[in-house]
Amino acid sequence: MQKLLLTVDKISTFVGKVFSWLIVSLTFLITYEVFSRYALDAPHDWAFDMMLQMYGTLFMMAGAYTLSKNNMVRGDVLYGFFPPRLQAGIDLTLYIVFFLPGITALCWAGYLYAGDSWAIYEHSGITANGPPVYHFKTVIPVAGAFVLLQGIVEIIRCIRCLKDGKWPPRLEDVEEVDVEKLKKQTGVKDEDIAKLDEYVTHAKGGDQ
């Protein structure tokens, strides 16, 4: 079972990281459009639409990845102090009552929404010659399906936590640097850092 959970985590992580490259494309597109608009006086009427579509795709397709890392926004002022079983019970209730109906509705409505868009080969109405949007609207049910799959995995994790009293391990990924942990791994002590700071301060004073 744990292997299956981690496999879904890997799929969500892969999809999220692939679509994260859209932020690079979006940066280049914005830079190009600003240069074209103000330096060449040649703005493109499709640029704004493309920016919206690229950012929207990035936002939606990163949902399953974010959920797999347990980084969805939550009000955990008290939640973090609860024992694992109580946390799992709260999460399981919220997943069943809100998550499953909401994401299922998103997938179904998104499927119909995208189907209508493909039927008429819909184009953006923001500008006169807007780019096609039917492919962009297809992202809605696809992203919803990935989030739903990851959500089912999270429900299984809640059930296992209720049974075992601890959360099952997750797939390791890039994390913020834990300074205290890094100091332990490298053997660096606080007094060593203080001496280094003092040395740098004196060195700068001598240069002046």
> Which of 126, 16, 118, 136 has its CA nearest to residue 64?
16
pLDDT of residue 189: 73
pLDDT in tens, 39-80: 999 988 888 899 999 999 999 999 999 999 888 777 677 887
Give the whole-angstrom CA distance, residue 32 versus residue 90: 47
Type and span of the H or E element at 35: helix 22-38
> Which of 52, 25, 30 has its CA nearest to residue 133?
52
> Which of 153, 141, 151 has its CA nearest to residue 100?
151
Question: Does 194 score more than 80 pLDDT?
Answer: no
CA distances from 86 to 81, 143, 167, 169 (A): 10, 30, 11, 17
pTM of the predicted structure, to 2 decimals: 0.79
pLDDT of residue 177: 55
pLDDT of residue 21: 94
Give the whole-angstrom CA distance, residue 32 versus residue 43: 10
pLDDT in tens, 106-164: 999 999 999 999 999 999 887 777 889 999 999 999 999 999 999 999 999 999 999 99
Residue for token digits 């990935």? Answer: 146
